Amino acid sequence: MSAQEQIRVSAQTAEPIVDRGGGNLKWRHFKGTLLTVFGWLSVIFGLGVLLILILDVISKSTGIFSGGTNWLTWDFFNNFDSRFPQRAGAKAAIVGTLYTISLTILFSFPLGVAAAIYLEEYAHDNWFSRLVEINVSNLAAVPSIIYGLLGLQVFARWLLLGRSILTGALTLALLVVPIIIVASRESIRAVPLSLRQASYALGATRWQTVWYVVLPQSIGGILTGSILAVSRAIGETAPLITIGALTFVPFLPRNILDIFTVLPIQIFNWTSRPQDEFRALASAGILVLLTILLTINALAIYLRNRYQKRY
């Protein structure tokens, strides 16, 4: 058989294969389009449900749609909790939330960033460092109630801190430190190796390289991950209830060793009462807590866009 005949036979046998490939390609495009449509419908459905819930909370707390009572007034921010809904407010819960979250940031941020720097820049690749990495990743997915039990035993009982703001802040710090470590490691790892090598070539030490090169380049991702971790801590209720945070506090805490309450626990307390007025107060508390969370998330987006480096 000549070379031309061989080419002709090969072309004839290849034609059905090309046709089958085209059919498979069309089927794959169809499945891709179908999944895209399904994904968009899921997003629209989720956002629609979220919008309905937010509008319902706004309506119950302000009466803007139903013409009811507006509970989101200055008295709500300036009064303490009461068994009478007309006198009840969230002053102690708001102040307790600010106290607790401030201390949580103070304890968790330096510890998480320092641990991430050590694991990425100083730790050797051995069994111990791998064991630490595995445990950090696992701790980031542990349910929050477990941290509440740990905080109750270690901080409240062993260290004799009781049901104080310090106990709540340390418990929430344990909750968010693994998340901060994971986010900070990813940001540090994203810094190009060439920048480190250039710093070493100029005679800088390892710590100088970390402080003047790696951290400035990764600070955007570190701050974003840390703020999102803290925003999770703001909405946590289970660990604080476990350590014994109170549901009724008619005074402001005098120091970090005083008893306290926070907005999620105050909302839980109001929703458990039978009167409809307390449910409206709970909606007002939800709206305040949601505003705080959205503000923190907006700050995280701003910091990410402000400090994001492109290589």
Q: Which residue has the tokens 């300036």?
A: 78
Output helix, strand, coil percentages for the chain, rounded to the nearest 5. Answer: 75, 0, 25
Given a contact cutoff of 8 angstroms between Cβ atoms, the answer to whether 289 and 100 are in contact is no
Per DSSP, the three-state class of 273 is coil
Query: Rounded to two decimals, what is the model's pTM?
Result: 0.81
Instruction: Specify whether the backbone of 42 is left (phi greater than 0), alpha (psi in -120 to 50) or beta.
Output: alpha
Per-residue pLDDT of the chain (311 residues; tens, 9 = 90+): 555 555 455 555 544 444 444 558 888 888 899 999 999 999 999 999 999 998 888 888 888 877 778 888 888 899 888 888 888 888 889 999 989 988 999 999 999 999 999 988 888 888 888 888 888 888 878 888 899 999 999 998 999 888 899 999 999 999 999 999 999 998 999 888 889 999 999 889 889 999 999 998 888 888 888 888 888 888 888 888 888 777 788 888 888 888 888 999 999 889 888 888 888 899 999 999 888 888 888 887 787 777 766 55
For helices 165-189 and 144-151, angle between their N-to-C axes, nearest 10 degrees:
130
Distance CA 225, CA 187 (A): 9
Instruction: Specify whether the backbone of 21 is left (phi greater than 0), alpha (psi in -120 to 50) or beta.
Output: alpha
Q: Which of 135, 71, 138 is CA-nearest to residue 288? A: 71
